[in-house]
Structure 1
Amino acid sequence: MSRLIQNSIRNTLFRLKPPPSITLSSTLTNNLSTSPEPSPEPPLDETSQSSAIWNVIIGRAGDNRVVSEDEVFHRLSDDPLCKKVNLSDTLLHKLLHRFRDDWRSALGVLKWAESRKAHKNNPTEAYDTAVDILGKAKKWDRMKEFVEKMRCDKAVTLNTVAKIMRRFAGGGEWEEAVRVFDRLNEFGLEKNTETMNLLLDTLCKEKRAEQARAVLLELKAHIKPNANTFNIFIHGWCKANRVEEALWTIQEMRGHGFRPCVISYTTIIRCYCLQCNFIKVYEMLSEMEANGCPPNSVTYTTIMSCLNAQKEFEESLRVATRMKRSGCEPDTLFYNCLIHTLARAGRLEEAERVFRDEMGSVNTSTYNSMIAMYCHHDEEDKAVELLREMESLKVCEPDVHTYHPLLRSCFKRGDVVEVGRLLKEMVTKHHLSLDESTYTFLIQRFCRADMCEWAYCLFEEMISQDIAPRHRTCLLLLEEVKKKSMLESVERIEHVMKTVKLTAPVK
């Protein structure tokens, strides 16, 4: 979890006293005002060492000020416990992943690792991660410095190039992504079908299929496309909702001697599903079977998910029956979708049977579907039992979405005490970060519970994490704080709405 998120949640939920206008029970006050007790000295396993290092960096930053990479480096270098840490490649990877949203701390950790010569035998993975973190933060100059350093050390790999291209394209700098391809020879890499496809895939995923097409037309005289090249374009055109171009690409693919595969067809089926054109979906299924390319579990799950989104649960179950009759082997994603469909169709016993008897393996999404099902049908005790089972079996870990239905049930029955307990459990027990959807949900629910002071605290923390609130969230909160004559809050929200690039309202 990033430094700012950890501190913000602690400040908001554990240290701040409820505003004077809120009347809360003593239990909730205790839940939300008590800081977590300090943990005993952890054993020297990698997870505990990671937490100890994290505490050295974060524990002294209670004022939420930005910590520079040099300060992080000096803290780690001077700390007696950190000097005893066995900084393996695995531990370094965990630390960089933990600070993936805090580029200064990530670079400080990497500098400390370099001073310890912790990754002298395998520096590329750590450098790749640092490049990715800098790209995510759009620190282009620093990212280029890192890449230049890697080039001099001959440490640039195809994976490095992929991260650079994708971060540039994702940040709206697609021309820079093309320039990286042009420089491949400088990095000791070859311009071939694989690297060309990497560039095309990057552009298509960022809805730049036309630019990708222009690149292909320029390069194909020197670099031969393969089947994957055409699948990339099928995906790109479908992502841009231009299914006719995708169908034309299928014909072009055949013209080059390649047969469309299940990926090609499933991509187009997904596009038709998003258009709610299920007549075309079933036509495409029949075409797949006629051409000797039977649909797989992903194909059927895609169709079921889109039918579920349209609340066509019985039709979705008919698709599941069609899949079973075809002899297609189901996977975990299909079962997760089936459980969700059965739950929404009100068939709880069938969903439980699939969960307990049919599934060979489960994941977090499986448990999330079951927990959501129980909460939806007001069987919260069973939902909590599943959460505890999840924790005890340790087959998979809870995420923020595991808690959403539980929190929703608490708000539904007006149990703000349990809301506080669950939020505390999320942060201190499972080290979960609040994302945009969770912040939005909590702000809306606190407003509806006539607790807009708490909603406003979460709004401020959301802004401090550089998470842009939705326009409708701002309007809801603004209306509530006006009712309570919270004039400073009114001015602050109006200022944010004018200066911060808000997430567009949901239509």
Structure 2
Amino acid sequence: MNLLLATLCKEKFVEQACKIFLELQQHIAPNAHTFNIFIRGWCKICHVDKAHWTIQEMKGSGFHPCVISYSTIIQCYCQEGNFSRVYELLDDMQAQGCSANVITYTTIMWALGKAEKFVEALKVPKRMRSSGCRPDTLFFNSLIHKLGRAGRLDDVAYVFKVKMPKAGVSPNTSTYNSLISMFCYHAQEKRATERKEMENLGYCKPDAQTYNPLIKSCFRSEKIDGVLNEILNDMINKQHLSLDLSTHTLLIHWLCRVDAIGRSLYLRR
């Protein structure tokens, strides 16, 4: 029964799924997964009120809603930008003894960033800690990305230098790559280079994606001789990294743009 209901709800035939459920439930007992299928279905067609009603029906049938049940509705509210209801539902979860997990909070933080509610987004880690949920590296990487794209570079630095150490979360290569990319995007090459040096001193090994934003910045600032050579030397000789397809393409594209045809032909070979 669950497979049939899930297929119908996935295709947004939720009303038809309800009719079939009412006909079959006298012969086949529903389980918690059955109700979660309907919660996802109602949220998929933006009937969040019916998803709430399904939560109550789930409880009435003797099943406890799990973090997936609540998180599905929270995601729907996030898409609507209805954050007051998000916080109410988080409080309801806490009262029911069902704490939100890091995926739930990452969804909320990402939605707040998308809505440009950056002050609220920066408060999410504190709320997580108060509920006993620890942010992970992916959470902070996502927060850094959102803040960086919005040009809030001081907030990016604060998250990296203060919030991550306070939460006991170590950065990984993706963290540094996001920082370098954001600083280069906003013409803060010096800060980007500092992050690369910090990466070299830590336990994270740079990869090709670490260097691509720095290479692009060299061309934008017309520093294609000394600085570009230093970056490529560091990448190839010190870090022993090969130029992958994306780096080759990047170099050829920009060398052609600055009319350095000879160099681009050499790279093609």
TM-score range, shorter chain: 0.5 to 0.7
The one of 287, 303, 315 equivalent to 2:120 is 315
**What residue identity is the alignment partner of 1:380?**
E
**Correspondence 1:352 to 2:160:** yes
Deviations 1:180-215 (A, max 9, x none): xxxxxxxxxxxxxxxx44554455445444454455
The one of 373, 380, 389 equivalent to 2:182 is 373
Q: Which residue of the partner structure matches residue 42 of structure 2? A: 237
**What residue identity is the alignment partner of 1:229?**
T
8 A contact 1:209–1:237 mirrored in 2: yes
More RCO (CA 8 Å, sep 6+): 1
1:258, CA displacement in angstroms? 0.8
Aligned residues: 236
Q: What's the secondary structure of 1:371's corresponding residue?
A: helix
**Correspondence 1:325 to 2:130:** yes
8 A contact 2:35–2:55 mirrored in 1: yes
Distance in 1 of aligned mates of 2:10 and 2:215: 34
Pair 1:206–1:364, CA change in 2 (3 A):
farther
Q: Which residue of the partner structure matches residue 275 of structure 1? A: 80
**What residue identity is the alignment partner of 1:370?**
L
**What residue identity is the alignment partner of 1:243?**
V
Pair 1:217–1:430, CA change in 2 (3 A):
farther
Distance in 2 of aligned mates of 1:207 and 1:407: 47
TM-score under structure 2 normalisation? 0.66
**What residue identity is the alignment partner of 2:154?**
G
Deviations 1:61-104 (A, max 9, x none): xxxxxxxxxxxxxxxxxxxxxxxxxxxxxxxxxxxxxxxxxxxx
**Correspondence 1:336 to 2:153:** no
8 A contact 1:342–1:348 mirrored in 2: yes
Q: Which residue of the partner structure matches residue 18 of structure 1? A: none
Q: What's the secondary structure of 2:103's corresponding residue?
A: helix
Q: What's the secondary structure of 1:347's corresponding residue?
A: helix
1:409, CA displacement in angstroms? 4.7
The one of 35, 45, 64 equivalent to 1:259 is 64
Pair 1:348–1:271, CA change in 2 (3 A):
closer
Q: Which residue of the partner structure matches residue 292 of structure 1? A: 97
Distance in 1 of aligned mates of 2:33 and 2:95: 22
Pair 1:249–1:308, CA change in 2 (3 A):
same
1:243, CA displacement in angstroms? 0.9
8 A contact 2:114–2:146 mirrored in 1: no
**What residue identity is the alignment partner of 2:63?**
F
Distance in 2 of aligned mates of 1:216 and 1:396: 53
Q: What's the secondary structure of 1:253's corresponding residue?
A: helix
Q: Which residue of the partner structure matches residue 472 of structure 1? A: none
Q: Which has the larger radius of gyration?
A: 1
8 A contact 2:110–2:143 mirrored in 1: no
Distance in 2 of aligned mates of 1:258 and 1:203: 23
8 A contact 1:371–1:386 mirrored in 2: yes
TM-score under structure 1 normalisation? 0.38
Percent identity, please.
Answer: 50
Pair 1:385–1:281, CA change in 2 (3 A):
same
Q: Which residue of the partner structure matches residue 55 of structure 2? A: 250
Q: Which residue of the partner structure matches residue 174 of structure 1? A: none
Distance in 2 of aligned mates of 1:281 and 1:275: 10
**Correspondence 1:302 to 2:107:** yes
Pair 1:397–1:258, CA change in 2 (3 A):
farther
Distance in 2 of aligned mates of 1:211 and 1:430: 51
1:240, CA displacement in angstroms? 2.3
8 A contact 2:12–2:45 mirrored in 1: yes
Distance in 2 of aligned mates of 1:408 and 1:236: 45
Distance in 1 of aligned mates of 2:12 and 2:71: 19
Distance in 1 of aligned mates of 2:98 and 2:185: 39
| Runs of at least 5 residues in structure 2 that lack an aligned partner in the other structure | 237-241, 260-269
Distance in 2 of aligned mates of 1:377 and 1:285: 36
Distance in 2 of aligned mates of 1:254 and 1:321: 30
8 A contact 1:238–1:271 mirrored in 2: yes
Q: What's the secondary structure of 1:346's corresponding residue?
A: helix
8 A contact 1:371–1:387 mirrored in 2: yes
8 A contact 2:51–2:73 mirrored in 1: yes
Distance in 1 of aligned mates of 2:110 and 2:127: 15
Distance in 2 of aligned mates of 1:313 and 1:246: 29
**What residue identity is the alignment partner of 1:372?**
S
8 A contact 2:173–2:204 mirrored in 1: no
Q: Which residue of the partner structure matches residue 263 of structure 2? A: none
**What residue identity is the alignment partner of 1:366?**
T
